[in-house]
Chains A and B, each alone.
Chain A
Amino acid sequence: MARLLPYLLLMKLIIAIIKPFKLDDVREALVPLGIQGLTASEVKGFGRQKGQTEIYRGAEYQVSFLPKVKIELVVPDSLADAAVEAIHEAAHTGRIGDGKIFVLDVERALRIRTGEADDAAL
């Protein structure tokens, strides 16, 4: 069974870290694909952008963690590539700090209200 698991996986978890002001663009790009829901969180972090400098009455502070939005969504395998591409296009500005997208396998899904499982639960 363990050896067969990779072939049975039918869902992907997509995690994207994006610029906060791109959240609505990303949502608008995903909905036409048939994505039924996503979770967004306000997060802080750093990447190659390495924070920014803020100046208050002449005192400079290096702010090393910048605000970003993290979105998480689980999609059927068949939609994963299209969803990643949609996020890529919608969140892209070409400037440093645009963020990253990660795709992970998902083992199970369950809708709490009805008990529906896997693809039917998404």
Chain B
Amino acid sequence: MQHVEPGDVAWMLVCTALVLLMTVPGLALFYAGMVRKKNVLATMMQSFSLCALISVVWMVLGYSLAFTNGDAWIGDLSRVFLNGLGANWDKAFTLGAGTANPLPMHIPESVFVMFQMAFAIITPAVVTGAFADRMKYSALLLFMTLWSLVVYAPVAHWVWGANGWLNAMGIADFAGGTVVEINSGVTGLVCALVLGRRLGYGQENMAPWNLSFAVIGASLLWVGWLGFNSGGALGASGRTGMAVLATQIAAGGATLSWSFSEWFLRGKPSALGAISGAVAGLVAITPAAGFVLPGPALAIGIVAGALCFWSVTVLKPRLGYDDSLDVFGVHGVAGIFGTLATGVFAFGPLSATEALPNGAYAGGLHLLAVQAAGVMATLAYAGAASFLLLKVTDALVGLRVSRDEEREGLDIVLHGEQVF
């Protein structure tokens, strides 16, 4: 039995804090800066409330469904209310102990639960950008509780659970290209379609009220993402360092490629464009960090920036849906691209083990096909399940505020407060 390594524990706790920082205040500021003045507090409340809500949901049931052995589709109930954590609280944790595919770590299970909890929190928080300015608060809480258990937990189990079917196929998803990015992106798209456009979309001025908030939020996302992506190594190692480096390079490349695309085609390199490009690059490198070398990381970033610039400025207006803050256009599109690119660029030796000295994951046609299967499965399942959950939520509490309430603004209508 392996032992607990203090260095690994310390690093994973740092990563946990960094990932939590991405949601509060990172995403809260990033999104709140892009909405109109009447919806600022309501937007921040979405991220903040999800931080609280999903902590409890994860403790009660989510973790057990995602990471216990179970079967190929979903975990079992052996860790409901984190039951059993006390028995081995100071022992090194092995994910999937007793299965054919165990993953021994040098951290106790409490650290693993907490690190994964931060992921379970940020994923639904990303989705909120799609329905900004119009969803009821009660609907948010109900929908996201259901979504966390019915969509997030199973998809996390498929990809990262010891018995998960995508894991068994050999999918390479280091930090959540499918579980976090495609999952939130397609859910955002379905939310935007089911809730419908904001009142006055296309006619009224919906310019961001304070982009400096968004720049600060995106900057926190950038720094936090170093922990988000490298924590996938589940310890402090050479692979961890490579994941941090790849993340930074991709973010830089994507920021530049979005900015230059915009400068060439629209005349000015905007601040909103620069931060959008950074997020696109960070999303695209998420599945790849820890699998790729710096060169491919740069290529992934550069393509992701230009691709997402196209998806939000050309594709979205052409399709006509109102994904308020471009959850699908950035997270969905870059997540799909990054997951596929990992199948091409994965450098085998980075994932080498004693049993497989040449690496468990190497780019090629086979890996690319597995990655494509993961993309399709996540798109199809998250899309369909989110649609059903939205219909259930609508029937129980109603999804959208009334016309008059939407005009007045969610801050005063939902929370009885105003930003100033």
Contact = CB atoms under 8 A, between A and B. Distances in A.
Interface of A: 54-59, 61-63
A58 B313 contact: yes
A56 B208 contact: yes
Interface string B197-223: 000000001111000000000000000
16 contacts: A55-B266, A55-B270, A56-B207, A56-B208, A57-B272, A57-B312, A58-B266, A58-B312, A58-B313, A58-B316, A58-B317, A59-B206, A61-B205, A61-B207, A62-B205, A63-B205
Contacts of B270: 55-56
A27 B266 CA distance: 37
B8 interface: no
Contacts of B205: 61-63
Interface string B315-352: 01100000000100000000000000000000000000
A54 B272 CA distance: 12
Contact of A58 (B206, B207, B208, B314): B314
Interface string B239-268: 000000000000000000000000000100
Contacts of A58: 266, 312-314, 316-317
B161 interface: no
B188 interface: no
A55 B276 CA distance: 14
Contacts of A59: 206, 317
B177 interface: no
Given A61-B205, A61-B206, A56 B272 contact: yes
B273 interface: yes
Nearest to B317: A58
A108 to B, nearest CB: 38
A120 to B, nearest CB: 41
**Which of A55, A56, A59 has the most C-beta atoms of chain B within 10 angstroms of its own C-beta?**
A56
A67 B381 CA distance: 49
A57 B261 CA distance: 12
